[in-house]
Amino acid sequence: MSFFKRLKEKLTGKTSEEQIQQETIEETTEEKEEVEQPIADVAAEPEQEHPLAQAEQVEETVEEETKAVEEEQAEKEKKPSAWSITQKFKMGLAKTRDTFTSKVNDLIARYRKVDEEFFEELEEILLQADVGFETVMELMDELRFEVQRKNMNDTEGIYEIICEKLVEIYEKGEEGISELNLQPEGELTVILFVGVNGVGKTTTIGKLAHRLKNQGKKVMLAAGDTFRAGAIEQLQIWGERVGCEVIKQSEGSDPAAVIYDAINAAKKRGVDVLICDTAGRLQNKVNLMKELEKIHRVISREIPNAPHEVLLALDATTGQNALIQAQTFKEATNVTGIVLTKLDGTAKGGIVLAIRNKLNIPVKFVGLGEKIDDLQPFDPERYVYGLFADSLDKELSKEE
Ligand SMILES: Nc1nc2c(ncn2[C@@H]2O[C@H](COP(=O)(O)OP(=O)(O)OP(=O)(O)O)[C@@H](O)[C@H]2O)c(=O)[nH]1
């Protein structure tokens, strides 16, 4: 199957078999309706019934139908369609696309032939989008190889190769790396959030809690950032908004003690996921390390193998600075995943690839806007679509 076909299936959430089946079902239903029409007309012949009983029946049917529609709507709201998630990536990456893709488009339009000069210009564009030196070099080698292998003379089809290689470079043969490590039903999952202040950590915790609640999980929050003024109240507000309990102590208290309390409360109340906030003081790596070590110790003493995730929140708009922060946290603790906030606020969305390549830590979530459902699990195919959406829409419709 071609890359574009696979991509389309992923973006729309339908496999080609499902698409064919769906079309067949629709066709059959239409035919059936045509055939059944006369029978229905005959069946519709009303039996004589008391007008009041008829009215009650109609009312009941309308009520039932309304309820069914409402339930379906609520279900849909809880579980967005694959295509609506794809659109979130498209909107969230608009800034990056505006600068980065227009340059790539311009390049493809100017060059008829894929030659060394074309590669050099593309290299420059990718570097400007913060994709990172090593990733760009790797991509260039792969592109050169593919272009030679396919004996490509013109730029037709170059999008497909660029997109395919970007996804491959991100995945590195490991699919599903963005999934959260949630424990089986009935067991408590502990997620620890780390990251410097101001990156959007608290907002992200709130959004993640909302997401997990929508999946039917019982969620609790631990206000472990006892250092930043207002952090506890901010988390409390999110707790109320999302509808989950927040365990807290007063400002300045020991974060490990707050988390200890929270674990015990979570166990007692049959919570599925406990999300712990922490303060991100970076001025002294030794102190940061000591604080996180203590928190880790407390958690794993209460629940072996926990925390199940240590998520580092990074602000995408800070570019290379985010990479430096990540390096420090990586040295201080065992970070299992990155949450890249404010991806919608940067024109240099290539940072996702640089993070993956430089740190070898998967990006588990990306922030694509300020709304509560704008935190999305990172998906390399949707990301690549977001980068090239305008051009890909044309190419994907050609594939039909
Ligand atoms: N556009 C956009 N804004 C975001 C995103 N994530 C967070 N924000 C905004 O960033 C601002 C700061 O987020 P907060 O969660 O309040 O972060 P903070 O309180 O400064 O600091 P920490 O919680 O310590 O990180 C808020 O206005 C958030 O709405 C995102 O993905 N996109």
| ipTM summary value | 0.94
Is 81 part of a structural domain of the chain?
no
**Cα(354)–Cα(83) distance, integer angstroms:** 27
- Residue 196, CA atoms < 13 Å, CB-side half-sphere: 19
| pLDDT of 257 strictly over 80 | yes
Question: Number of folded domains in the chain?
Answer: 3
Residues 211 and 348 in one domain: yes
196 is in an annotated binding site: yes
141 is in an annotated binding site: no
User: Who contacts 214 (Cβ-Cβ below 8 Å, separation ≥6)?
Assistant: 78, 79
* Ligand 1 atom 19 nearest Cα: 198
Residues 12 and 126 in one domain: no
* Ligand 1 atom 14 nearest Cα: 200
CATH number of the structural domain spanning residue 118: 1.20.120.140
**What's the mean pLDDT in 224-244?**
94
- Residue 366, CA atoms < 13 Å, CB-side half-sphere: 30
**Cα(94)–Cα(107) distance, integer angstroms:** 19
pLDDT at 176: 73
pLDDT at 396: 74
Residue type, 177: I
pLDDT at 54: 65
Residues 166 and 200 in one domain: no
Residues 164 and 216 in one domain: no
17 falls in which pLDDT band (50, 70, 90)? Answer: low
Q: 136, 126 in Cβ contact below 8 A?
A: yes
Q: Crossing angle of helices 158-171/3-12, nearest 10°?
A: 70
Buried b (16+ CB within 10 A) or exposed e, 47-76: eeeeeeeeeeeeeeeeeeeeeeeeeeeeee
Q: Domain span at residue 129?
A: 89-175+387-398
Is 21 part of a structural domain of the chain?
yes
pLDDT-wise least confident of 70-74, 87-91, 222-226, 383-387: 70-74
pLDDT-wise least confident of 1-15, 30-44, 286-300: 30-44
Q: Angle at the Cα of 282 (from 311 to 372), degrees rounded to 5?
A: 40
Residues 140 and 220 in one domain: no
- Would the CB of 165 count as within 6 Å of ligand 1? no
**Cα(344)–Cα(179) distance, integer angstroms:** 21
Q: Angle at the Cα of 187 (from 185 to 74), degrees rounded to 5?
A: 40
Residue 179 has φ and ψ, to the nearest 5°, of -70, 145
| CA–CA distances in Å: residue 32 to residues 27, 28, 37, 42, 334 | 9, 6, 8, 16, 60
Q: What is the pLDDT of residues 148-179, one digit of tens each?
A: 998 887 888 888 889 999 998 888 777 777 88
pLDDT-wise least confident of 1-15, 51-65, 366-380: 51-65
241 C-alpha vs ligand 1 centroid, how far in Å? 16
Q: Within a 10 A sphere around the Cβ of 41, how many other Cβ atoms?
A: 9
State the sign of the Cα–Cα–Cα–Cα dihedral 129, 133, 134, 137.
positive
279 is in an annotated binding site: yes
Residues 258 and 368 in one domain: yes
Residues 321 and 205 in one domain: yes
45 falls in which pLDDT band (50, 70, 90)? Answer: very low
Q: The pTM is what?
A: 0.83
Q: 338, 314 in Cβ contact below 8 A?
A: yes
**Can you say whether residue 334 is alpha, beta or left, with left for phi > 0 and alpha for psi between -120 and 50 degrees?**
beta
Residues 168 and 197 in one domain: no
Is 199 part of a structural domain of the chain?
yes
311 DSSP β-pair partners: 193, 337
Is 372 part of a structural domain of the chain?
yes
Q: Angle at the Cα of 390 (from 386 to 393), degrees rounded to 5?
A: 95
pLDDT at 289: 81
* Residues, the chain: 400
- Would the CB of 346 count as within 6 Å of ligand 1? no
Is 122 part of a structural domain of the chain?
yes
Residues 164 and 193 in one domain: no
1 falls in which pLDDT band (50, 70, 90)? Answer: confident
**What's the mean pLDDT in 209-220?**
96
- Would the CB of 80 count as within 6 Å of ligand 1? no
Choosing from 95, 370, 373 the residue with most ligand 1 atoms within 8 A of its CB, the one to mutate for a pocket test is 370
**Can you say whether residue 215 is alpha, beta or left, with left for phi > 0 and alpha for psi between -120 and 50 degrees?**
alpha
Run of H or E residues at 28: helix 16-43
Nearest by Cα to 204 from 164, 149, 242, 248: 242
* Ligand 1 atom 26 nearest Cα: 200
Is 147 part of a structural domain of the chain?
yes
Residues 350 and 394 in one domain: no
Residues 392 and 367 in one domain: no
CATH number of the structural domain spanning residue 288: 3.40.50.300
342 is in an annotated binding site: yes
| pLDDT of 28 strictly over 60 | no
Mean pLDDT is highest, among 131-145, 262-276, 342-356, for: 262-276
Is 69 part of a structural domain of the chain?
no
Q: 114, 104 in Cβ contact below 8 A?
A: no
Q: Within a 10 A sphere around the Cβ of 269, how many other Cβ atoms?
A: 10
pLDDT at 5: 81
Is 254 part of a structural domain of the chain?
yes
282 falls in which pLDDT band (50, 70, 90)? Answer: low
pLDDT at 75: 57
**Cα(273)–Cα(125) distance, integer angstroms:** 42
Percent of the chain with pLDDT over 90: 48
- Would the CB of 155 count as within 6 Å of ligand 1? no
* Residue 269 DSSP symbol: T
- Measured in whole angstroms, the distance separating CA 146 from the mean position of its chain's CA atoms is 30
Residues 5 and 130 in one domain: no
- Would the CB of 224 count as within 6 Å of ligand 1? no
pLDDT at 47: 46
